[in-house]
Amino acid sequence: MTAVLALTLGDPAGIGPEIALRAWIARREAGLTPFLILGDPDFLAATARRLGLDVPVVVGEPEEAAAGFDRALLVRPLARGLPLRAQAGRPDPANAPAILASIEEAVALVRAGRCAALVTCPIAKHVLYDAGFAHPGHTEFLAALAAAPGEAPPRPVMLLWSQTLAVVPVTIHVPLRAVPDLLTADLVIETARIVDRDMRVRFGIAAPRLVLAGLNPHAGEAGSIGTEDRDVLAPAVESLRREGIDIRGPLSADTLFHARARATYDVALAPTHDQALIPIKTLAFDDGVNVTLGLPFLRTSPDHGTAFDIAAQGVAKPDSLVAALRLAGRLSAR
């Protein structure tokens, strides 16, 4: 497999182009694995000039990236052309075909073994929805691209990872009032199985230690503050333990993320989105990485959005993208 990462540009009206350029500038200091971008080379070169960044942009293929990475940023034009006319800070559905083609072609390179892993810059789902995008989000689109013809897409799981903390939300972008109905034992078991497997296979942790946060305050206090922890989460944990998965819980979420608690586990699973994302964004806001588990290929991305409000103003920090590239390089080397 080629030791090159495929990087998508995300929404070109956001900070994706700037942080991609700045990540290349940081390549030596950060020790990054060579990467190439799927997109419009003229647009990236113009963005570099506008921001005053000294980034030579050249056109090429993955097989050329490793040798030339130190001298220039390699860009592979999209197969259908699709030049970009994006204005910074102004999301436009007209860019949707190029955004999606960048993702599709990057996945194809990874699945063909021409790139070692996929790294994606942020997209704005509402921009794609306005152009007729049929998937709930970025991750579901990747799962669909990962499916063989006639097969159901694999079940993706969102892992937010940093050196300080790794968390998985069991339910993601749903209203809080919907969580108790969605939070079934089967969902918890399936999620934990995927996390345990990918911690072993992707991260090389021989015996992953998982914990499950409770849904209710104090994990329900034996059913006196809601029954979901007692009747749904606890039986799921017992079932997983019988399978040989090292998992504890449900545990009170309010005492699960301090330093001493974090030392006792490798990944924390949380019933709701904010239970997982608030602690990691508090502890590792600039260098958290979104890793998609459950796919047949490795995918990482920055743990932030498009930030249209600061696009092309020269203030976007590439730290999370650099962390995503560094982690993708390290894990793909396995």
Please indicate if the annotation marks 281 as binding a ligand: yes
Please indicate if the annotation marks 299 as binding a ligand: yes
Please indicate if the annotation marks 173 as binding a ligand: yes
Q: Give whole-number Cα distances, 297 to 6, 304, 324, in Å.
A: 12, 21, 15
Spatial distance between the Cα atoms of 221 and 71, rounded to a whole number of angstroms: 60
SS3 helix, strand, coil % of the chain, rounded to 5?
Answer: 45, 15, 40
Give the pair of three-digit tokens for residue 131. 């152009």
- List of E strands, the chain: 5-8, 35-38, 57-59, 73-76, 117-120, 157-161, 166-169, 210-213, 247-251, 267-270, 289-293, 299-302
Q: Give whole-number Cα distances, 191 to 186, 194, 250, 283, 292, in Å.
A: 8, 5, 15, 24, 12
Q: Give whole-number Cα distances, 318 to 14, 287, 321, in Å.
A: 13, 9, 5
Please indicate if the annotation marks 126 as binding a ligand: no
Please indicate if the annotation marks 138 as binding a ligand: yes
Q: Enumerate the known binding-site residues.
A: 138-139, 173, 218, 273, 281, 290, 299
Q: Enumerate the known binding-site residues for a divalent metal cation.
A: 173, 218, 273
Q: Enumerate the known binding-site residues for substrate.
A: 138-139, 281, 290, 299
